[in-house]
Structure 1
Amino acid sequence: MRIVIAGGHGQIALRLERLLAARGDEAAGLIRNHAYADDLRAAGAEPVLCDLESASVEEVAAHLQGADAAVFAAGAGPGSGAARKDTVDRAAAVLFADAAERTRVRRYLVVSSMGVDGEPPAGTDPVFAAYLRAKGAADDDVRARKGLDWTILRPGRLTDEPGTGLVNLAEQTGRGAVPRDDVAAVLAALLREPGTAGRTLELISGTVPVEEAVKAASTG
């Protein structure tokens, strides 16, 4: 299986690339800075230089040719302003989805966030509110598409603690934290579970092994 990952140098993406390489899948990570290439190679992934803020849909589609699945794990990141929340967290996700549809790469996973449905609460920091709106708009766009077998994953508060392999994965989990290790493990499992297509799932730490949780979330 060949998987193309947008935001290939992100903390979750690098973990996912290691997992995919370890099980014999082929991963390619889109990066906007060639300085990240060695990190991807060390994770067992192919680095692909592509800036989703400036690339055309044709350019992105060229990188998706022959892929079995696409994962949008990009984000503007901490320290970025409201404008980049829109150009990365919304517009780049839409562009990547457009490219996936153009190349008939139906399986499409999105790493989103909790709390992005509806308007942010009053008093929310303006930049964080822009982030929530951008993520929500991207999710809405993807969920309206008929040409993708999409799954949207909404993790809780991310931590760098070692993964436990035990999670709570459901349409609604309540607030909580989850290690990035476990988010990557769930993404890897989702790629092998087509029955989760068409579902928006929240993820926090829990008591159910990852593979069992993903199987239980399947509609097939």
Structure 2
Amino acid sequence: MEVLVAGANGHTGRLLIQYLKEDGHVPYGMVRKEEQKAKIEELGGIPVLADLTGDVGHAVKGKEAVIFAAGSGSSTGPEQTELVDRDGAINLIKATENFGMKKFIMLSAIAAGQPERGKEELQHYLKMKGEADEYLQGTELNYTIVRPGGLTHEEGTSKVNVGETVDRGTIPRADVAKTMIACLREPNTYNKTFELVSGDTQIEEALKTI
């Protein structure tokens, strides 16, 4: 499957490119800067230059699925969070619809849309992620929204806990990436939104219980 990864130069995005390639897919890494292209190629992906705040039609054209893994980052202000995490995501969703594609996987966040469940400093971010998720849920796309807990750089275990809501916790980025890729082929995840933390169940088995 030809899959576009938005935010491919981020920590989770790079893992997505690597694991998609290993899983037999053709990954396209969407990056904003010319100098970022070499890293995508090194990971086995095909770089595509595009900015979430502008025209992304050429990036999604011809792809079979889109994975949104972009983020404004923890050091940016509220305006950048709105621009990337909400408006950028919606811009990519609209382009996906316009080109007749079906599958869209969103990397969201635990408690998105329920900012009161999060720490005060994260509540604006959670609100923006929730609004992007809500927009996606209102489309006719075959979507999956993955809402992980705190992301770590620990080695993945491929064991998770999933549910409509789960207790707050952490999860390695590697396991988040593998879960999102598994959602491409697991029908039980289609048009579903779920939270995700580390657990005791293998990813593929856990996704069948949502």
| 1:207 aligns to 2:200 (yes or no) | yes
Q: Does 2:126 align with 1:132? A: yes
Moved over 4 A (4+): none
Q: CA deviation at 1:216?
A: 2.7
Structure 2 partner of 1:50: 50
Counterpart selection for 2:111 from 109, 112, 115: 115
Unaligned runs of 5+ in 2: none
TM-score of the superposed pair, with normalisation by structure 1? 0.91
* SS of structure 1 residue aligned to 2:125: helix
Residue of structure 1 equivalent to 2:175: 182
- Report sequence identity in percent: 35
Give the corresponding residue for 1:163.
156
Q: CA deviation at 1:23?
A: 2.0
Aligned positions, number: 210
AA in 1 matched with 2:191: G
After superposition, where does 1:1-220 map in structure 2 within 5 Å?
A: 1-53=1-53, 55-56=54-55, 60-120=56-116, 124-125=120-121, 128-146=122-140, 148-217=141-210
Measured in 2, the distance between the counterparts of 1:22 and 1:187 equals 14
Aligned residue identity for 1:95: N
Distance 1:121 1:179, change over 3 A: closer
Gaps of 5+ in 1: none
The answer (yes or no) to whether the contact 1:120–1:133 under 8 Å persists in 2 is no
User: Aligned letter for 2:164?
Assistant: E
Q: Name the amino acid aligned to 2:126.
A: L
Q: 1-side partners of 2:118 and 2:197: how far apart?
A: 25
C-alpha distance in structure 1 between counterparts of 2:21 and 2:118, whole Å: 44
> Could you give the per-residue CA deviations for residues 114-144 of structure 1, whole angstroms, max 9, x where no partner exists?
122235469812xx33211110110111111
Q: Match of 1:216, SS?
A: coil
Aligned partners of 1:123 and 1:180: how far apart in 2? 21
